[in-house]
Amino acid sequence: MICERLDFVAPVEQLVADTLTQTVPDETTREALVKARIGQGRWRRDLMKHWAGKCAVTGLEVEALLRASHIKPWRDSDNRERLDVLNGFMLGPAYDAAFDAGLISFEDNGSVLVSPKLPANQLLAAGISGAAKLSTLVDAHREYLAHHRGSVFSV
């Protein structure tokens, strides 16, 4: 059983592994899915550490509300980029949803960019500040943000 070989996984990841063992008949597919899920869990933990357990924009520290958000989306990333801690932000739910939907992005100086598809009169209702800014950025973040602005952000 695949779960026995992966006895180092966290309880939630173990539950996912057990469920996959019961529901995915092909062992190769099952093992690939378990490894991907474990990688995502590690990436989230590394991202939490990198951002000191806070939202990169608001400073929100309630872990249950924080989302690990890829800058360059998973679907567009290679395996190295998918697990690169610098390809991610910890974001509160509103910022995560808007960022993922391309309704916001960030300039190279960290200032928020708001898409015209998110009307100015809806920013407050959405929980987004037009004056928002990322707390810190390094060059690798900027490279991933260039992709986000060019491929995800709606202009």
The pLDDT of residue 41: 80
Instruction: Express each pLDDT in 107-140 by its tens digit.
Output: 999 999 999 999 999 999 999 999 999 999 999 9
Q: At what angle do helices 27-50 and 11-23 cross, to 10 degrees?
A: 160
Query: pLDDT tens-digit profile of 39-75?
Result: 468 899 999 999 999 999 999 999 999 999 999 999 9
The 10s digit of each residue's pLDDT in 1-52 is 333 333 334 554 555 566 556 666 666 655 555 555 544 688 999 999 999 9
| Tokens (6 digits) for 13 | 């990841």
* CA pair distance 79, 5, nearest whole angstrom: 22
Q: Note the pTM of the prediction, 2 decimals.
A: 0.76
Contact 66, 90 (CB under 8 A): yes
Beta strands in the chain (DSSP E): 67-70, 88-91, 104-106, 112-114
